[in-house]
Copies of this chain bind each other. A is one copy, B any other.
Amino acid sequence: MGSNSLTLAPAPRSAAAEEVRAEVREFLAAELAAGSFTTHVDTWLSGVDPAFSRKLGERGWLGMTWPRQYGGHERTAMERYAVTEELLAAGAPVAAHWIADRQSGPNLLRYGTEAQRAEILPRIAAGECYFVIGMSEPDSGSDLASIRTRATRNGDGDWVVNGAKVWTSNAHTSHYAITLVRTSPADPANRHAGLSQLLVDLSLPGITVNPIRILDGGHHFNEVVFGDVVIPGDMLLGEEGAGWHQVTAELAFERSGPERFLSTYPLIAEFARRASDPAQLAALGRISARLLALRQLSLRIAGALDRGELPDIPAALVKDVGTTFEADVIDEVRRVVDVPASLDSPDALGRALAEAQLHAPGYTLRGGTNEILRGIVARGLGLR
């Protein structure tokens, strides 16, 4: 097979990444020893801890790749990769800042005005300013072009927004929402036209944040309702009408990180503590081989980002394969252990299984369902 849009150059080795990895490891060991957090599954969704996020900011582990002038540290994507995977493997509470650091900050760097960048990016890098993604709506799941939240200009040149966004992770603990809105009437001939992104301060009058509890009762998601919310005109992000293009690029950006295959890593670690008979060791080997392959894929994408590429199709592939793996881990472990899953289990493995299972439906839905992702991969294969 010749090269195609799915293949990427092998990830470069990075001594700097290994150096920062060692630092993070030491930090995490100390924090765990001090009891500042306990390991859980899927903490990049559910582990909100602003104090912990600020500690990471202090150490220079947020906004790592951004220019220094915006509070960043001008380090490579490979170094950032090492930091994020260490945090995920430890099951550390990183949810507060996760979206801002991964996605909203880079988005502001690409499309933000100088004022927006100067105001917000240093606060993100300090671990003090948190973002949510304002894309999905109650009637628009995978079909983002059908969103209905509207923004119209008023006489002062400000935007008046009405509508509602859902699945906004941790909006109740966040400061801003980059919100996809319709700024021109829907055009049946071009479903992707007329959309724009607004940078919305969640403390503005007219915004209501209603909790959406997930099936285990956890409060991570919210509905954000906009009732005649007035957004200053200069809070447009990027170009008016370019919202579709911007979110597509943003989604590609968010799909390839280690959080797409390490959400259930704490379960694997717990299983490893138990693995002893040949069948368990073989299961650990199989799980590990899949994880190692995903890690190489994800590292390749980090390498491509360092080269200035935007590998959207491999990123979709990583998310599809990786999130499938996250759920498969549960099944693989269950095949070789006799520990019932329960949050109240006296056995840490039983608790990890329970956490992983209760969060499982999210893995292959968030950030684009796996069916959508496979469609993107198929397009990359030249089939559509």
Contact = CB atoms under 8 A, between A and B. Distances in A.
A76 B88 CA distance: 62
A277 B279 CA distance: 10
Nearest to A335: B282
Interface string A268-282: 000000000111001
Contacts of A335: 282
Interface in A282-302: 282
Contacts of A277: 278-279
Nearest to A336: B279
Contacts of A279: 277-279, 336
Number of copies of this chain that the complex holds: 2
A278 to B, nearest CB: 7
A374 to B, nearest CB: 15
A4 B374 CA distance: 31
A282 B280 CA distance: 13
Contacts of A278: 277, 279
Which residue, of A278, A279, A282, A335, has the highest number of chain B Cβ atoms within 10 A?
Answer: A279
A320 to B, nearest CB: 19
Interface in A328-352: 335-336
A336 B278 CA distance: 10
Nearest to A286: B335
A277 B277 CA distance: 11
A279 B279 CA distance: 6
A3 to B, nearest CB: 29
A335 B286 CA distance: 10
Contacts of A336: 279
A282 B335 CA distance: 9
A335 B335 CA distance: 12
Nearest to A280: B279
A277 B282 CA distance: 14
Contacts of A282: 335
Interface string A119-138: 00000000000000000000
A157 B335 CA distance: 66
A278 B338 CA distance: 12
A337 to B, nearest CB: 11
A169 to B, nearest CB: 32
A277 B335 CA distance: 15
A234 B254 CA distance: 69
A31 to B, nearest CB: 38
A335 B279 CA distance: 9
A341 to B, nearest CB: 18
Interface string A59-97: 000000000000000000000000000000000000000
A285 to B, nearest CB: 12
Interface in A12-26: none
A222 to B, nearest CB: 33
A278 B277 CA distance: 10
A83 to B, nearest CB: 36
Can you list the 6 inter-chain pairs with the closest CB atoms, starting with the nearest? A279-B279, A279-B336, A278-B279, A277-B278, A277-B279, A282-B335
6 contacts: A277-B278, A277-B279, A278-B279, A279-B279, A279-B336, A282-B335
